[in-house]
Structure 1
Amino acid sequence: MFCMGENLTGGYGGADILKGCTIGVEQGEIAVIVGPNGAGKSTAMKAMLGMLDLREGQVTLDGKDITNFSPQARIAAGIAFVPQTSNVFTGMSVEENLEMGAFLREDDFTVTRDEIYDLFPILREKRNQLAGELSGGQRQQVAVGRALMTQPSVLMLDEPTAGVSPIVMDELFDRILEIRETGVAILMVEQNARQALNIADRGYVLVTGENRFTDTGEALLANPEVRKSFLGG
């Protein structure tokens, strides 16, 4: 597995939220984490980024153990993370937000920026507008674009379609599919489980911090128990 968290166990100082769960994604693949509220989905993703202390388990990237890396070091190694909320600099323009994503780069990042404008044309149109003035869906595009400015090998998205309309959700999923085609590994937590599994190569159903089901997206969609318990029948 290109990026993998194995036997992740830990939390935020109190009781363990993650109880031995394993998640991972290959290059050029979309892996989706679904499950009920409180299942530890976002916590698992934060564990992959090094934002909580693990009591057990390890995180690897391209075969290298990065369990003891700081979040900053993991970003430098190729992991990009888009949190669910507070994921843009509202007082800065769209273009300034994208440029902030290139803070670790010492090369000419304008080619990457132009590729992001091609991926999200509305951002080119609104490049000089404050991010705080954008719609929710447009802000998500800015957040994803800023993450892509780091030229990551792994893109982690926490609830990328939260609070957006069904039309905007479909558009975001289309763009996520386009990003996958460039060879980036995409790991995302998603509340719209059915739609997310529909585009997923791999899916993980977490319940109380543990793996309940692990399979291809297609197989999970077809699983009667998954459909009944987690997809609304």
Structure 2
Amino acid sequence: MSGEPFLIGDSMTGGYGKSGPDILHDCTIAVERGEIAVIVGPNGAGKSTAMKAVFGMLNLRQGAVRLDGQDITELSPQARVRKGMGFVPQTSNIFTSMTVEENLEMGAFIREDDYRETMEQVFELFPILREKRAQAAGELSGGQRQQVAVGRALMTQPKVLMLDEPTAGVSPIVMDELFDRIIEVARTGICILMVEQNARQALEIADKGYVLVQGANAHTGTGKDLLADPDVRRSFLGG
């Protein structure tokens, strides 16, 4: 469709399993090329569920997901990866017994071309990974593990990078560094869709923000607009 966002989860209603209750209620999430879109909201608001719905990990009873104008609602997550979607879950997102370099190589599993240039780009984005390329990923700090997870997703050369709570459990300094790298990735033209518990910091870097409450859109706007919205500040940002 002309004029439609590059990626859109449109009016999504659904939940887990065939007969589970609906967690999402007419929820819409969209992101353009080179944009950072952030999903925030209280615990249990359906933030991660909305992202998983976009990635095809739960059943939609209503609504659709479209990527670059193509309806992908019925595609499996694996098929969506081949269409250009990269997903970094919050936990269990690296192979701990493998080296950093082996983790990145695993990210290139769908590639049939020479992926060494992409690996070099990942090392330029995350210099510490080059330094630790021969080390077991399980020995790294929490922030370094997240870099491995994001790097592995980038090895597929995604058009969309989806991050579920990328800064969970890391220090404020590491969080700022990760956000800086995420901005760099977006500048290459990749869509970033991110669920984030550090709402204020995430909205500061967001082109677009979605505040979810009980699986539905409560507020939508630019990151700047949401940060300035008294209702959003009072309800979700601590005043």
Q: Which TM-score applies when normalising by structure 1? A: 1.00
Work out which of the residue numbers 146, 152, 164 in structure 2 matches 1:146.
152
1:95 counterpart SS class: helix
Work out which of the residue numbers 150, 166, 172 in structure 1 matches 2:178.
172
1:58 counterpart SS class: strand
1:57 counterpart SS class: strand
Q: How does 1:15-164 map onto structure 2 within 5 Å?
A: 15-164=21-170
Match of 1:214 in 2: 220
Name the count of aligned residue pairs.
Answer: 233
* CA offsets 1:66-100 (integer angstroms, 9 cap, x no match): 00011111000000000000000001000000000
Q: How does 1:184-199 map onto structure 2 within 5 Å?
A: 184-199=190-205
Match of 2:7 in 1: 3
In 2, Cα distance between equivalents of 1:6 and 1:38: 21
1:141 counterpart SS class: helix
1:224 is aligned to 2:230: yes
In 1, Cα distance between equivalents of 2:53 and 2:154: 20
Following superposition, the deviation at residue 132 of structure 1 comes to 0.4
Give the residue type in structure 1 aligned to 2:16: Y
Work out which of the residue numbers 4, 12, 19 in structure 1 matches 2:16.
12
Following superposition, the deviation at residue 44 of structure 1 comes to 0.5
In 1, Cα distance between equivalents of 2:238 and 2:91: 26
Give the residue type in structure 1 aligned to 2:215: G
Give the residue type in structure 2 aligned to 1:125: E
In 2, Cα distance between equivalents of 1:54 and 1:6: 11
2:78 counterpart SS class: helix
Give the residue type in structure 2 aligned to 1:204: Y
RMSD over aligned Cα atoms: 0.4
Give the residue type in structure 1 aligned to 2:105: E
* CA offsets 1:101-140 (integer angstroms, 9 cap, x no match): 0000000000000000000000000000000000000000
Following superposition, the deviation at residue 15 of structure 1 comes to 1.0
Gaps of 5+ in 2: none
Deviation above 3 Å: which 4+ runs of structure 1? none
Give the residue type in structure 1 aligned to 2:84: G
Q: Which TM-score applies when normalising by structure 2? A: 0.97
Gaps of 5+ in 1: none
In 1, Cα distance between equivalents of 2:186 and 2:11: 26
Give the residue type in structure 1 aligned to 2:11: N
